[in-house]
Amino acid sequence: MRFVTMGLVAPLALCGCLQSSDAPAGSRNDEIAKMGDVSAGRSLYERHCLACHGKAGRGEGPVSKALDVPPADLTALSVVNDGRFPQEEVMAQVYGYPGRHHVQAMPSFGQLLDGPMVPWKDSRGRTVMTPAALLDLVGYIEAIQED
């Protein structure tokens, strides 16, 4: 299964949670632009994602069998995308956007991840103000990718 970039990223940029900026990158910002704080992301994952996606991220969480749609195997996102981790698509999926609940089984976590905003560069090179917690969580998901 391949992610549809524009279908997921465009709503993320439009949802009002992210704001364009020309802010200069600092030391933390340089790290975040790539991945985020993996340790903080792991804590967020354990708090918000483990119940469905499981400890290892393979979709085997304690409530997964009770769901109508099986949770995704988060460790295989790069594999199913020709070796490329789909960072922006994962960010859009996790954060959510208005109206998505009507077509998706996974809830939006945007409100739970709101907090300090940091500059992040998207795939087009634009600087976008993004919740640091979102980048941390997605950084952790990127760190658990398997070959």
- The predicted pLDDT at position 91 comes to 94
CB 32 within 8 A of CB 118: yes
Exposed, middle or buried by CB within 10 Å (0-12, 13-18, 19+), for 97? buried
What would the pLDDT profile of 28-73 be if each residue is shown by its tens digit? 444 434 568 999 999 999 999 999 999 999 999 999 999 999 999 9
What would the pLDDT profile of 123-146 be if each residue is shown by its tens digit? 999 999 999 999 999 999 999 999
**Order of strands across the sheet that contains 19-20:** 19-20, 127-131, 117-121
- The predicted pLDDT at position 36 comes to 87
The domain over range 5-143 is classified in CATH as 3.40.50.300: no
Enter the DSSP assignment of 63. T
d(CA 68, CA 115): 31
Q: Which of 38, 39, 31 is nearest to 119 (CA)?
A: 31
Give the residue extent of every domain in the chain.
Answer: 5-143
